[in-house]
Amino acid sequence: MLLQDENLDLIDVDSLKKEIERDLPETPVLTEDEIEDDLAEMYLSASNVTASLYYNNEKIAALASTRARSFAARRAGRGILKKIRDFICRFLNEGSTTSDIIDKILEALASILPGGVIIKFLVKKIVKFVLNRGIGAFCRVA
């Protein structure tokens, strides 16, 4: 899986997983609305960062400005969270470990976000949200 930071530098996935697990106790628990907002922010950021790979500098500023004006953050965040839920809930259950959950969330984000560009501190909040809710409740499994 390919993950990059906001500078388009490759992220060592194994190191990131360890960092997420290590930082979980200090990571705040957010509401679903806050998670959706964070997912939308990460998506828009990833779109803007990856634009530099495909457009010249004059076009990037105009593209980012246009995208920001027409971007429906709440709708995007809700859609991304649904995609994450649909993906990870096919593989995970109540017996899944924290490591399993982190793996699947990262895998989902790598495929959903443009260029696999993630913001580490937001990923930590997403993982904490799923773990705090419990995989059964997150997946709406009885």
DSSP-H helix ranges across the chain: 13-23, 32-54, 57-70, 73-88, 98-112, 120-133, 135-138
Q: What pTM does this model have? A: 0.88
Which stretch of 21-25, 72-76, 80-84, 122-126 has the lowest confidence by average pLDDT? 72-76
pLDDT digits (tens, 9 = 90+) for 49-101: 888 777 777 676 666 666 666 667 778 999 999 999 999 999 999 999 999 99
Under the banding of pLDDT at 50, 70 and 90, the label for residue 142 is very low
What pLDDT is attached to residue 77?
A: 92
What pLDDT is attached to residue 67?
A: 67
What are the Cα distances from residue 42, in Å, to 49, 99, 114? 10, 22, 10
What pLDDT is attached to residue 126?
A: 97
What is the C-alpha to C-alpha distance for residues 58 and 27, in angstroms, rounded to an integer? Answer: 38
Give the residue among 77, 105, 135 at the shortest CA–CA distance from 1. Answer: 105
Query: Is the pLDDT reported for residue 23 higher than 50?
Result: yes
* Structural domain spans, the chain: 31-138
Our measurement of the distance from residue 122's CA atom to the centroid of its chain's CA atoms, rounded to an integer in Å, reads: 7
Average pLDDT, the chain: 90
